[in-house]
Amino acid sequence: MSYDHTTIETTWQKRWEDEGLYRSVVDWDRPKHYALTMLPYPSGDLHMGHWYAMTPSDARARYMRMKGYNVLFPIGFDGFGLPAENAAVQRGVHPAKWTWENIGRMRTQLRSMGAMFDWQREAISCEPKYYKWTEWLFAQMFKNNIAYRGEAMVNWSPSLNTVLANEQVIDGVDERNGQPVIQKLMEQWFFSITNYADELLSFEGIDWPDAIQAQQSNWIGRSEGAKVDFTTEAGDTLTVFTTRPDTLWGATFMVVAPEHPLLGSITSETHRESVDAYVDQASKRTELERIEDGGDKTGVFTGGYATNPVNGENVPVWVADYVLISYGTGAIMAVPAHDERDFAFARKFGLTITPVVQPPDVDRLDGATMQGAYVGVGTMVRSGPLDGTIVTDAKGRQNPSVSAAIDWLVENGAGLEHVNYRIRDWLIGRQRYWGSPMPMLHRADGEIEVLELDQLPVVLPEDVEFDGRSPLKEHPYFASAIASDGSEARRESDTLDTFMCSSWYWFRYLSPDFDTAPFDPAEAAYWLPVDTYTGGAEHAVMHLLYARFFVKAMRDIGIFDDTIAEMTTRGRDPEGLFDEPFLQLRNQGQILGETRTGDRLVIDGNAEGQRILATSVLLDSDASDDAGLVVGELMRRTENILQIAPTEGGNVTVEVPAEATVDIPAIPGTNDVNQLKHHLEVERMSKSRGNVVNPDDLVAKYGADTIRTYLMFAFEWQKGGPWDSKGIVGSHRFIEDVWKLGTHSYKPDAIDDASTADLRRKVHQTIQRIDQAIVAFKWNTVVAALMSLRNELVEAKRSGAVSDEAWTEAVDALLLMLAPIAPHITEELWNQRGHTSSIHVEAFPEADATVAKEDTITMVLQVNGKVRDRVEVSAEVTAAEAEAAAMASPKIQQWLDGTTIRKVIVREPKLVNIVATP
């Protein structure tokens, strides 16, 4: 019978679902494992990236189940979001209709993967029974002062007609649509994530990739320093934040941001006109335009002065947009002698520069002649009481000068020690339609009222028209409501950022229909927290940071109290289980578009014997064969030597001297020869580039098992890479071979004990390798180990020299170990081989170390670290025997001839290294 993947896969998918094989039920007698894959957005079709992300997630969940864990592996959809509204505007489809149709299609496609999702726990964030609790959670945050309404400079996207969170803006443009955003002072809803900054900087107790930890730490941006109070002429306190309070004595002017609230009172009448003009012009510039200016600084003098508290000196106050209102206090003390930006500003406008840190071994610095700011180590000078204090390159209190300066400020009442963070509060409201409503009322008297549970959910109305703006403000249900005291009110028409929906979804999976709380404590007490979370690293400072904040906030509000009580009743210690959402996080890489062949180099130069000395190298994929002296593909580069494969004939060696010109159009600026190898034609797999591989077509052609196997085998999972459609045949051959082995009725020919032992050893070594590889998420080596076992079985089948028992053990082990990766074919073969229960509830094979152990080992014999011979020795060889065996080798004797042995290193049974000199 030949392998018919379509029949096998559809049959088993249906049977598993009918029999409820993947239903997960609380069972306190068994250890639990909560495996989670990132909530997919229902964009329309499942693409290869989803398969790539979810297959290892599924395989690992299956492995844990075979290892004896009670595994929960749920799935759902992130139903709200802008693409649905865009579809409405562009194609006239209602967002709800568009979303639900996509969900329907993706459900079918997800089922074709054969993943062990427990569909009865499916949660969809745009359903009222879900977003009722999103609203309720917001209400709890509001009541506990974690959500608040406040005025701040926010990112406004004119193209989307909504505000965006800081995390959604990169280099002044929307991270999703690339359109510019502008800064606007607006009253908005925020979550005070800033209050959790310090806790979020600690990753204790969780196993997350270094890169994510680094990104989150960068984003939070903790700086230690001091707040220092300067006094303006009008008597106001102008506070600055500085990480270098030790340079206060060198502060020769101050700069405030154009939006600074004290700017008006600082500005003198004679300067008001020019200040107003500057502020007006600055407000019109987008962040993007400012960034494009680079280091060139603009600004004007306010005409006002302030007093430096450390020495009583009057310093001029300037306004300039290189000082940002959103960071620190929006005002700085400028120390041009020791800060690059202040130095550039001072030189441009002719301001005083006073050095207060003296570098070692250099003449006394002179502000008038300095070429740049000095930011290195030295000794404090011109700093009154602190003269002579050592300045190191350490940050904060670690630096003696900073520490001394803070102490001085505190003692003299001139300032306070302060830690500043870069992260800003999470802007949570959106002026959009397709999102969770907010459970808030604005009363006629201006007060804000939060709705109670019995009034939830505020249902999103569906009878609306679209023109790119939110229709909620005008909708009768939102425009007029009655407050608790019977007065007139309007509903809040902002909706919640969809990242809030995805900040708690793994709790909703526990009990998607639970009606009296966001989740059922009886489920939560058993399943929480998530043990393993997998998904893309692009969510590092958005979803993954928000999720951590959310759990901490929920914990502080007391939302887990019932769960903790239930845990305690069950004898499970709740200590520390609600500080972090996901104990282990692993990120997959990205699947890119298929590499285009035909990157061609056009080389001109002179032939010198065998090689060519280039004068110019140009990368031009469309170049014709006669466009230069040599035209062809770059096969290899070693330093400045290129191997070029022309269309016809053998490789040509080209030397590229330093003076030759190299031109790679895709890499801007001056190119050099070192960049050549790295210029591969790889593109991100996306619809717009037309290089998408459709998983549905591949499923039809090869079957889900082959694709799953290939995706795990072809890449280093955490790295990803360009799709290679040719490589899939290797995985397909493997699956076909498994079919042949699994359906073969083995009859031994002439049983040979050594062959039998060899096969058994291979089986048990493979189990050991796979256990290690799965723990490390090294899926390519898991598949490689199974392929290697396949090779042994093919050989055993041909020889007929292994015993019946060994054959059966090996084939069964192969099927069991492959089951997490290729669930359908293994289930079918398991069934055909006479087993009545599912392979997916079987125990994973246990390695027997005694069987796995080698009896003889190839020992390497080295002379001076170079391998000169190999001998077979017993695994139990002693050091003396090993050395004797080495000395007995004729080849080794030859190499030792005429030398003196200095030392013999024996690492039995693997190696003997003889150190000898002439």
Partner RNA sequence: GCCCCGGUGGUGGAAUGGCAGACACGGCGGACUCAAAAUCCGCUGCCCGCAAGGGCGUGUGGGUUCGACUCCCACCCGGGGCACCA
Kindly identify the residues of this chain, within the stretch 340-359, that bind RNA according to CB under 7 A.
Answer: 341, 344
Residue from 491, 760, 790, 840 in contact with RNA (CB under 7 A): 790
> Do the beta carbons of residue 193 and residue 549 sit within 8 Å?
yes
Check residue 674 for interaction with RNA (CB under 7 A). yes
Least Å distance, CB 351 to RNA, is 15
Considering only residues 420-449, where is the footprint of RNA by CB under 7 A? Answer: 420, 422
Check residue 758 for interaction with RNA (CB under 7 A). no
Least Å distance, CB 175 to RNA, is 8
Least Å distance, CB 659 to RNA, is 17
In which element (H, E) is residue 654 found? strand 652-655
Alpha-carbon distance 548 to 647, whole Å?
55
What SS3 class is residue 467? coil
**Torsion, Cα of 360, 362, 368, 371 (10° steps):** -90
Give the range of 150-158, 516-524, 635-643, 821-829 binding RNA by CB under 7 A. Answer: 635-643
Least Å distance, CB 29 to RNA, is 36
Check residue 239 for interaction with RNA (CB under 7 A). no
Check residue 339 for interaction with RNA (CB under 7 A). yes
Nearest of 499, 375, 711, 545 to residue 39 by alpha carbon: 499
SS (H, E, C) 61-74: HHHHHHCCCEEECC
Least Å distance, CB 735 to RNA, is 11
Contacts of 833 (CB under 8 A, 6+ apart): 742, 811, 812, 815
Q: Where are the alpha helices (DSSP H) in 165-209?
A: 197-200
Check residue 653 for interaction with RNA (CB under 7 A). no
Check residue 675 for interaction with RNA (CB under 7 A). yes
Least Å distance, CB 225 to RNA, is 5
Check residue 536 for interaction with RNA (CB under 7 A). no
Residue 540 vs 806, nearer CB to RNA: 540
Nearest of 706, 827, 875, 850 to residue 768 by alpha carbon: 850
Residue from 86, 109, 194, 223 in contact with RNA (CB under 7 A): 223
Residue from 367, 471, 646, 721 in contact with RNA (CB under 7 A): 721
Check residue 214 for interaction with RNA (CB under 7 A). yes
Residue from 100, 715, 807, 830 in contact with RNA (CB under 7 A): 715
Residue from 781, 803, 826, 838 in contact with RNA (CB under 7 A): 781
Q: Report which residue type is found at 559.
A: I
Considering only residues 595-624, where is the footprint of RNA by CB under 7 A? Answer: none
Asked whether the bond before 529 is cis by omega within 30 degrees of 0, the reply is yes
Alpha-carbon distance 205 to 539, whole Å?
21
> Of how many residues is the chain composed?
918
What SS3 class is residue 555? helix
What SS3 class is residue 833? coil
Alpha-carbon distance 401 to 389, whole Å?
6
Give the range of 402-410, 698-706, 790-798, 840-848 binding RNA by CB under 7 A. Answer: 790-798
Residue 147 vs 545, nearer CB to RNA: 545
Considering only residues 3-32, where is the footprint of RNA by CB under 7 A? Answer: none
Contacts of 448 (CB under 8 A, 6+ apart): 149, 440, 441, 442
Sign, CA dihedral 309-315-316-321, equals: negative
Least Å distance, CB 198 to RNA, is 16
Check residue 418 for interaction with RNA (CB under 7 A). no
Give, rounded to a whole angstrom, the gap between the first and last alpha carbons of the chain: 68
Q: Report which residue type is found at 144.
A: N
DSSP 247: G
Residue with tokens 């106001």: 236
Give the range of 7-15, 443-451, 666-674, 808-816 binding RNA by CB under 7 A. Answer: 666-674
Considering only residues 287-316, where is the footprint of RNA by CB under 7 A? Answer: 290-291, 293, 295-298
Considering only residues 860-889, where is the footprint of RNA by CB under 7 A? Answer: 860, 862, 864-868, 870
What SS3 class is residue 228? strand
Give the range of 41-49, 408-416, 552-560, 673-681 binding RNA by CB under 7 A. Answer: 673-681
Least Å distance, CB 332 to RNA, is 5
Residue from 194, 730, 833, 881 in contact with RNA (CB under 7 A): 730
Q: Is 570 left (phi over 0), alpha (psi -120 to 50) or beta?
A: alpha
Least Å distance, CB 179 to RNA, is 17
Check residue 625 for interaction with RNA (CB under 7 A). no
Give the range of 266-274, 696-704, 724-732, 825-833 binding RNA by CB under 7 A. Answer: 724-732
Alpha-carbon distance 765 to 570, whole Å?
40
Sign, CA dihedral 676-682-683-684, equals: negative
Check residue 784 for interaction with RNA (CB under 7 A). yes
Nearest of 354, 403, 361, 402 to residue 382 by alpha carbon: 354
Check residue 799 for interaction with RNA (CB under 7 A). no
Considering only residues 142-181, where is the footprint of RNA by CB under 7 A? Answer: 170
Check residue 778 for interaction with RNA (CB under 7 A). yes
Alpha-carbon distance 205 to 103, whole Å?
36
Residue 147 vs 423, nearer CB to RNA: 423
Least Å distance, CB 606 to RNA, is 23
Residue from 91, 284, 364, 678 in contact with RNA (CB under 7 A): 678
DSSP 847: P
Residue 467 vs 639, nearer CB to RNA: 639
DSSP letters of 734-749? Answer: HHHHHHHHHH-----S
Considering only residues 899-918, where is the footprint of RNA by CB under 7 A? Answer: 903, 905, 907, 910-911, 913, 915
In which element (H, E) is residue 272 found? helix 272-284
Residue from 444, 729, 849, 888 in contact with RNA (CB under 7 A): 729
Least Å distance, CB 798 to RNA, is 7
Residue 480 vs 878, nearer CB to RNA: 878
Residue 107 vs 422, nearer CB to RNA: 422
Q: How many C-beta neighbours within 10 Å does residue 286 have? A: 15
Residue 616 vs 799, nearer CB to RNA: 799
Least Å distance, CB 463 to RNA, is 40
DSSP 244: -
Check residue 389 for interaction with RNA (CB under 7 A). no
Residue 441 vs 545, nearer CB to RNA: 545
Residue 564 vs 759, nearer CB to RNA: 759
Where do the DSSP E strands lie in 659-757?
Answer: 661-663, 720-722
Sign, CA dihedral 265-268-270-271, equals: negative
Least Å distance, CB 856 to RNA, is 11
Residue 472 vs 644, nearer CB to RNA: 644
Residue 339 vs 492, nearer CB to RNA: 339
> Do the beta carbons of residue 830 and residue 839 sit within 8 Å?
yes
Check residue 526 for interaction with RNA (CB under 7 A). no
Check residue 534 for interaction with RNA (CB under 7 A). no
DSSP 392: -
Residue 471 vs 589, nearer CB to RNA: 589
Q: Report which residue type is found at 212.
A: I
Least Å distance, CB 182 to RNA, is 15
What backbone phi and psi angles, to 5 degrees, belong to 696?
A: -60, -40
Considering only residues 250-289, where is the footprint of RNA by CB under 7 A? Answer: 257
DSSP 275: H
Residue 246 vs 566, nearer CB to RNA: 246
What backbone phi and psi angles, to 5 degrees, belong to 207?
A: -110, 90
